[in-house]
Amino acid sequence: MTVQSGTFAEGAVSSAGVSLKPGFVDPVFDAQAVFRAALLATAYPGRVVPLDRTLTAPRPFSSATAALCLSLMDFETPAWLDNSLDCGELTAWLRFHCSLPLTETAGEARFAIVSDPANLPRLCELHPGDAEYPDRSTTLIIQVPSFTDGPTTTWTGPGVNGSIPVGIAGLPFWFWADWDLNSELYPRGIDVVFTSGNAVIGLPRTIKVEA
């Protein structure tokens, strides 16, 4: 992941006649703070990491989902959006604040953003990276209703002290079976960041999950 420092507005702006919500107040320092939080979530999988920057995000984005977009994405990172996100205000906001190119094919995306887990693509549809460049895989950002109200799963692997229970809510029934298949691709494979409210949980490809 690389932190971005594009141009952001402090107040509501207008792009192509569409009234847009603002981005970060201080684009450089705010993006760096969110980027550090994303790194912490990746380094300590399963740990809830709150963000100390809050955004009034365009619907249906949560504050954390919007902050990750502003911090991680730019004109070089094509993104795929689920059906619930494909609306004029949101896509205009992403293009204005991130210069973000959008793709209709999930497998071509560096980032896949899902606000409704019911619209989640199967993990095999995303790019797992190449043998020479496993880091060029898709990063999947999934906005979920809760980090605690779902079925309890047990996570083990690098960054986890023994094991950690995690109860992500709203995921489709097949998700953890797909995750097992994704883990078998290592060192290739996708990485996941879950968002809820203004916090994140990281799920790198190295983590084993017992559902």
Per-residue confidence (pLDDT) for residue 6, from 0 to 100: 41
> Residue 3 falls within a domain, yes or no?
no
> Residue 34 falls within a domain, yes or no?
yes
> Residue 4 falls within a domain, yes or no?
no
Q: What is the CATH number of the domain that holds 196?
A: 3.40.50.11310
pTM comes to: 0.90
For the chain, what is the domain count?
A: 1
> Residue 12 falls within a domain, yes or no?
no
> Residue 15 falls within a domain, yes or no?
no
> Residue 14 falls within a domain, yes or no?
no
> Residue 156 falls within a domain, yes or no?
yes
What is the domain extent for residue 127? 21-210
> Residue 169 falls within a domain, yes or no?
yes
pLDDT in tens, the chain (211 residues): 444 444 334 444 444 455 777 788 888 999 999 999 999 999 999 999 999 988 888 889 999 999 999 999 999 999 999 987 766 788 888 988 888 899 999 999 999 999 999 889 999 999 999 999 999 999 999 999 999 999 999 999 999 999 999 999 999 999 999 999 999 999 999 999 999 999 999 999 999 999 9
Instruction: Calculate the dihedral angle through the C-alpha atoms of 137, 140, 141, 145, rounding to the nearest 10 degrees.
Output: -160
